[in-house]
Structures are given as C-alpha cells and as structure tokens.
A and B are shown apart, each in its own frame.
Chain A
Amino acid sequence: MAEEEDEKEYRWETGYEKTWEAIKEDDHGMLEASVADIIHKAKRKRQSERKGGARLGMMRHLFIILDCSASMMNQDLKPTRLLCSIKLLEDFVDEFFYQNPISQMGIIVTRNKRAEKISDLTGNPKKHIKELQNLQHTALTGEPSLQNSLELALKSLRLLPSHASREILILIGSLTTCDPGDINPLIKTMKVEGVRCSVIGLAAELCVCKRIASATGGEHSVVLDDKHYKEQLNAHIDPPPATTRLDAALVKMGFPHHALHNSTTDAAMTVCMCHAESTDESSRLMSTGYLCPQCLSKHCELPVECRACGLTLVSAPHLARSYHYLFPVKPFREIAYESNTPSSCFGCQKSFSNTEKKVYICDKCMNVFCVDCEIFIHESLHTCPGCANNPDTFLKNADSLPAT
C-alpha cells in the first residue's frame, strides 16, 4: 500500500530526543521563564500552521461514531471512558456549531455488533446534546462494529449534494471490532465518495483504524489523558481543507425576518415549527420568532432547515462568523525589543518594559504588539487592530469581499 511507505516512523524507532536540553535555567536557577518560553513557542507554532486562503469545506457534514461497547466502562479516563467522552463531546458540539454555524452533525453509537443512529444530520446543537446526555445511563455491552457503523454513516452522507464536505469522526475504546465482512472494499468506497474519516482511539492504536484514516485523508490519534483527549477533539473543530474533488455550488438560502414586536397588535401568539410536534414544556406560544421567507412558517431559532419547505434559514452574521477562516490575519513578525520600537503595545496599551524580549510587528500596518495581544488577535479577534485603524489598510483585509 502506498500510504504505508510514507508513514512516519514510530516514536520508539526515532533517535534520542534530548528534551532536557531545551530547558535552561535563568540567573536565579529557576526554570519558569524557560518553560513559559516553550509554551509560547508551541502556541506560535500552531498559528503558523494555519494557512489562509485555502479552500475550506464550509458546509460540513460530520458523523460522530461513538463506541458504546463494554470496553467503554474502563475507568482509565475518569470517571469512565464513556462519561468522559460524553462530557467532552457536549463541549465539542457547542464549539463546533459556534465555529461552523451552517454545518450539520449526526451521532451514531455502536455496541453489540450493531450500529444505531441516535441523532440524524441536523444543525441544532441542543438536540445532539440532549441525545448525548441520554446516553449517560445506557447499557454498555458487547463489541463495536466498525463496518456496520461506517456503512450507516455512509448511507446518509452519500445523499448529500456534492458541494458539501463529508466527514466521519470515530471515537473507539475497544481493541476489537466485529464486522460482517471484509472492511477493505468499504474503505475504498469511502475514498471514492470523498468521505474523510478520522479516528480517535481511547485505548491503543489499531491497524485498521490507522488504515481507514490514512486512506481517506483523515487523522488518527490515541489519547493520553482527558486533556489530550480534549485537544484531539478540538482539532476537528476547524474545518479541514476541502479536497479538490469537492464540487462548488451555489446553495439557496433564506434570510428570515426578525418577527419581533411585529408592528401593532397583530403579532398573534403562535407555536413555532420547531416545537410544534413536541409536547414537552418547551413548546409554548410566542409572538417572537423568525419567519421563513418562502413559506412564512415560524421558527424560534437560527440556523435551521425550514420544516415546511426545506429551505436553509440563516442570518447574515451566521455566514460572517466563518469568514475569518477565509481571510485570516497574517502571522506577525517577531522582532527583538529595542529602544527605537514604540513604547507601548498598539492593542492593549501596555507599555513595554525591558523584560519584554520579543515584540511582534504586523507587516501590513507596521504596528507593534505584545505577545499576549498577538495571540489574542490570531486566536479570537481575527482582525489586526493596526490595520483596522489605518485608512489605507483597513479595506485590504476585505478587499476581495465587497461586503454587504
């Protein structure tokens, strides 16, 4: 197999890594400065890996396959593998929809050699979280089945339009899988269909998992502890670069009105479409909501697929939330702090003292920032304050976006 040749060697096969040499004592024999430096470097590294302008699959469709076999009872992750996974997945779902607002997600559990879809592809995080919480008291029995669950996921993903990205994320704690047949043809089909499949192992690396991941362009990793687990999950929040065979398409979407305090007294109390069928306490009459521009049915939150006519309903800010992936702030250049650099950080106004060894400069607007602002700008703000405050440069950020 071609993939296996360029695989990197295992850790134990590499030469000595002299990790202790990276740590240096300062004048007082303390290590803190050195450790902080290492952490900082790691942060910088993560940012530089993020490339801008790449085609990202924006309308993501992700299936999460969660192992619910007996092996999930293991207590190496506290309190158990399953409870830990559920807790982390809840955060993951929220963050996933925050960062990918017009994406959809579905959840499949596998146990007793069977696969079961507990929530279908939808864009509503609340539904997923509710289903996940219901899983807490589920019975963990038997063995998982990779093939069955992948086929189940594939059945739904296959129907999606060709412009949508298709992804599967497997969380597996078992070291075995019980499949009805040969899994290799299935892997080939997934490859043909452009399904990207990643695996996070909770126990140990399995050859079959590794092969699935590398064949479909996904990632494979094994968690060390709960923190590492969270990091591994979070790596799947950023959209993966779209594979080239993904077709681009124009998708029809509705931008509903905010039906708030509608003009006069005619704002009759109505039940929204999302809660019309459910009978629990959340279905109450409201006068506010969003009206589908095509069929005028009411929905209580966005984004949502209209229950009546199937139109995807979003608000303009939802789309805007994803723009920063397309136009990220370029990494700043690290320069040594000298006397001729400005006396304070352009962003937070902190005055540089001599303890500041490195400051950061934006090559576009030539303003200087401190370490913390540099991280803040690249990780959450996604706008360079210097460029945004310069009448010559503020447009360049958005020059390819004539905006609304």
Chain B
Amino acid sequence: MASEVDKSLLIIILDVNLSQRIVRQETKVLTQCLDSTIVFANAHLMQKSNNQLAVMACHAHGSLFLYPDEKHSEVRQIDGQYERFTLVERSVRQRLQEAISEIRTDRPLNSESLIAGALSMALCYVSRLEREKVAGEKLNSRILVITASNDSASQYMNYMNVFFTAQKMGLILDVCSLDQELTLLQQGCDITGGNYLKVAQLSGLLQYLLWVFLPDPSIRSKLVLPPPVKVDYRAACFCHQELVDIGYVCSVCLSIFCKFSPICTTCHTVFKMPGPMPLKMKKKKKNIDAVH
C-alpha cells in the first residue's frame, strides 16, 4: 500500500564491562569499540531518513540508555558532520562517561555483564514504540549486542524469556562477539532469525559491523552474508552442568538431569520409582533399568 511506511529501528547494546578479558589486557580496546559502534550507529541513521536508533550500554551493575537522551537534545554543528550524527556521538560519549564514573567500586567488578537485563529493557522500549506508532506505519526492529564477555548460565531464564518474547514480537536479535563463542546468545540469534558473528580481528570491527549487521533483515537475502553457524541446542543437566544427548526431565518443573534420581532437586518432588508401567512406556522402562 502506498500509505504504509516502513521504519527501521536499531537498538545497539554495547557491553562496557571493564572486566572483560580483552579490556583488561588493553584498555584502549574499549575506546576503539566505542568509536566503531558510534560510526556504525550513524551509518544506520545515514541509510534512510526514517531510520531510528537507540544505543544502550550495559555492564556488571546494570544497563542504561545512552541515546536517545531527552536531556541533551540541543546541539550545534562544529564541523562538516551532519547535525544528527553529532548529537548521537556527543550524547553517547557524554552519557557513557557519566555512567562509568557512577559505577560503584565497592562491589567486585569481575562479575558478568547483565546483557539479559539490557535486552529486557530494549524490549520494553520497542513495545512502547509499537504502541505509539501511527496508523499505516510499520516498525521493523532489531537489536544488536556487541560484547566481549561470556554469556553466563546464571541469566539463563532471563535470556530465554527475552528470546521468546522477541520471537513473538517479530524482532531480530543480532550478536557480535568480540572474544569467545557465546552459546546462549547464539541460540537467541537462531530463535529470532538474526545473525551471529564472532569477530576474528578486533582491529577490523567497524568493517565487520558494516558488512554483516548494517543490512536490514529484508535485504539480507539479497546480499551474500556468512552462513548460519551450527547452533548447539543440547541441554545441560542441572546436576553436573554437562551437555547431554539423552536426559531425564522432571514432569513437574521440566528440570533436566543426566541420571535418574528419586527426588527432583529443583521442585523437591518425589518421583515414583519406575514400577509396572502401561503398554506405551515399556520401551522407556527398559532403558531406565539399563541405567541403574
């Protein structure tokens, strides 16, 4: 329809945790990542006048929006840069500076970044924009996570909730890892249909971003992009945190165990010992017996 207008919203979540391995090795890395991210953000805005942008930072103690920022919306051009880009650059840098100086030092710093928290805020933000849009407007949203920290299993629940909500909202999650393979976020990419990329050379970060993550999902099929990675969907058991091919699932809370145990450690349910079972269960019963 002529009356339908597409808008493309990109939310960038930049991990600024100071205890990331690559940052601890060389502090300059963070500045370099920030520079690349800002240029990439502006490159997105440069594509179309309708494109929208939000930038978030996340670290071990929380996350916050760097742009848009209602407090700093006035800016005058100082050089040939497009005014809107200057505004992005300035408010991101300013807000990040404030944020980093606010990080409390009385807490151990080496904890993990709260990426799932940042993602959940991003989803709230997207759902607000969806509510506020006018008739005849179509909002295509996606989230890009740029991180060098590990995705830890302690946020597993939050991650999964975020992934499924994103899938339901038709929102795409892209992940750019700077350091290690992120199995959880990889699953998120696969569930939502986004791209996952582990950057091989940090010095070329901007080029990686422009190549892989700048194209809108609608045009990705036309451009040749790296093939999808093999996602490991195996579950880890709750008892030993080991990946299992075949496991036992508690019928009440769906916790996964690698061996049969008489009591569920999650919901404290006592299981019926495998006794005489109806017809259909015969095969399974044999297997259980074999384990013991």
In the assembly, what is the distance between CA of A159 and CA of B277, in Å? 9
Q: Is A251 an interface residue (CB 8 A)?
A: yes
Q: Is B182 an interface residue (CB 8 A)?
A: no
Q: Is A50 an interface residue (CB 8 A)?
A: no
Q: Is B19 an interface residue (CB 8 A)?
A: no
In the assembly, what is the distance between CA of A252 and CA of B283, in Å? 11
Q: Contact mask B231-264 → A, CB, 8 Å, 1/0? A: 1111111100100111111111111110011001
Q: Is A402 an interface residue (CB 8 A)?
A: yes
Closest chain-A Cβ to B83's Cβ sits at a distance in Å of 23
Q: Are A347 and B157 in contact (CB under 8 A)?
A: no
Identify the closest chain A residue to B236 (Cβ).
A404
Could you say which of A248, A258, A384 has the most chain B C-beta atoms within 10 Å of its C-beta? A248
Q: Are B127 and A389 in contact (CB under 8 A)?
A: no
With A160-B280, A310-B283, A401-B238 given, is the CB distance from A317 to B124 under 8 Å?
no
In the assembly, what is the distance between CA of A398 and CA of B157, in Å? 7
Q: Are B249 and A251 in contact (CB under 8 A)?
A: yes
Q: Are A255 and B245 in contact (CB under 8 A)?
A: yes
Q: Is B211 an interface residue (CB 8 A)?
A: no
Q: Are B253 and A317 in contact (CB under 8 A)?
A: no
Q: Are A347 and B161 in contact (CB under 8 A)?
A: no
In the assembly, what is the distance between CA of A242 and CA of B233, in Å? 29
Identify the closest chain A residue to B58 (Cβ).
A389
With A58-B251, A161-B278 given, is the CB distance from A258 to B164 under 8 Å?
no
Q: Is B52 an interface residue (CB 8 A)?
A: no
Q: Are A260 and B228 in contact (CB under 8 A)?
A: yes
Q: Are A247 and B272 in contact (CB under 8 A)?
A: yes
In the assembly, what is the distance between CA of A60 and CA of B129, in Å? 36
Main secondary structure of the interface of A (DSSP, over half): loop
Chain B residues, Cβ within 8 Å of A58: 251-254
Q: Is A319 an interface residue (CB 8 A)?
A: yes
Chain B residues, Cβ within 8 Å of A160: 278, 280
In the assembly, what is the distance between CA of A287 and CA of B269, in Å? 42
Question: Which of these binds chain A: B40-48, B61-69, B84-92, B199-207?
Answer: B61-69
Contact-size category for A: 35 or more
Q: Contact mask A256-289 → B, CB, 8 Å, 1/0? A: 1110110000000000000000000000000000
Chain A residues, Cβ within 8 Å of B236: 316, 403-404
Return the contact of A250 from the options B118, B231, B249 (Cβ within 8 A).
B249
In the assembly, what is the distance between CA of A373 and CA of B230, in Å? 35
Q: Are B62 and A348 in contact (CB under 8 A)?
A: no
With A255-B247, A389-B114 given, is the CB distance from A250 to B254 under 8 Å?
no
Q: Is A390 an interface residue (CB 8 A)?
A: yes
Chain A residues, Cβ within 8 Å of B117: 385, 388-390, 394
With A250-B248, A255-B245, A403-B153 given, is the CB distance from A383 to B253 under 8 Å?
no
Q: Is A294 an interface residue (CB 8 A)?
A: yes
Q: Is A352 an interface residue (CB 8 A)?
A: no
Q: Is A55 an interface residue (CB 8 A)?
A: yes
Q: Are B234 and A251 in contact (CB under 8 A)?
A: no
With A293-B245, A326-B253, A404-B235 given, is the CB distance from A252 to B284 under 8 Å?
yes
Q: Are B233 and A315 in contact (CB under 8 A)?
A: yes
In the assembly, what is the distance between CA of A90 and CA of B114, in Å? 39
Q: Contact mask A223-260 → B, CB, 8 Å, 1/0? A: 00000000000000000001000011111111111101
With A248-B271, A348-B127, A401-B255 given, is the CB distance from A255 to B246 under 8 Å?
yes
Closest chain-B Cβ to A253's Cβ sits at a distance in Å of 5
Q: Is A138 an interface residue (CB 8 A)?
A: no
Chain A residues, Cβ within 8 Å of B250: 248, 250-251
Q: Is B125 an interface residue (CB 8 A)?
A: yes
Return the contact of A347 from the options B124, B249, B264 (Cβ within 8 A).
B124
Could you say which of B107, B244, B252 has the most chain A C-beta atoms within 10 Å of its C-beta? B252
Closest chain-A Cβ to B95's Cβ sits at a distance in Å of 12
Identify the closest chain B residue to A370 (Cβ).
B128
Return the contact of A249 from the options B161, B191, B271 (Cβ within 8 A).
B271
Chain B residues, Cβ within 8 Å of A257: 233-234, 245
With A161-B277, A382-B161, A398-B154 given, is the CB distance from A372 to B264 under 8 Å?
no
Q: Are B124 and A385 in contact (CB under 8 A)?
A: yes
In the assembly, what is the distance between CA of A255 and CA of B254, in Å? 14
With A250-B248, A253-B247, A383-B161 given, is the CB distance from A404 to B125 under 8 Å?
no
Q: Is A140 an interface residue (CB 8 A)?
A: no
Q: Are A251 and B157 in contact (CB under 8 A)?
A: no
Q: Are A159 and B227 in contact (CB under 8 A)?
A: no
Closest chain-B Cβ to A244's Cβ sits at a distance in Å of 11
Chain A residues, Cβ within 8 Å of B127: 348, 372-373, 376
With A261-B230, A372-B128, A381-B124 given, is the CB distance from A242 to B252 under 8 Å?
yes
Q: Is B150 an interface residue (CB 8 A)?
A: no
Identify the closest chain A residue to B262 (Cβ).
A250
Q: Is B111 an interface residue (CB 8 A)?
A: yes
Chain B residues, Cβ within 8 Å of A250: 248-251, 257, 260-261, 264, 271
Chain A residues, Cβ within 8 Å of B131: 372
Interface residues of B in 133-178 (CB under 8 A from A): 153-158, 160-165, 168-169
Q: Are A403 and B254 in contact (CB under 8 A)?
A: no
Closest chain-B Cβ to A205's Cβ sits at a distance in Å of 34
Interface residues of A in 360-400 (CB under 8 A from B): 372-373, 376-377, 380-385, 388-391, 394-395, 397-398, 400
Additional 4 contacts, C-beta under 8 A, given A394-B155, A402-B238: A316-B233, A383-B157, A385-B124, A389-B63
> Can you list 9 pairs linking A and B with CB atoms under 8 Å apart?
A102-B254, A258-B230, A309-B283, A310-B284, A317-B160, A322-B254, A348-B124, A348-B125, A382-B161
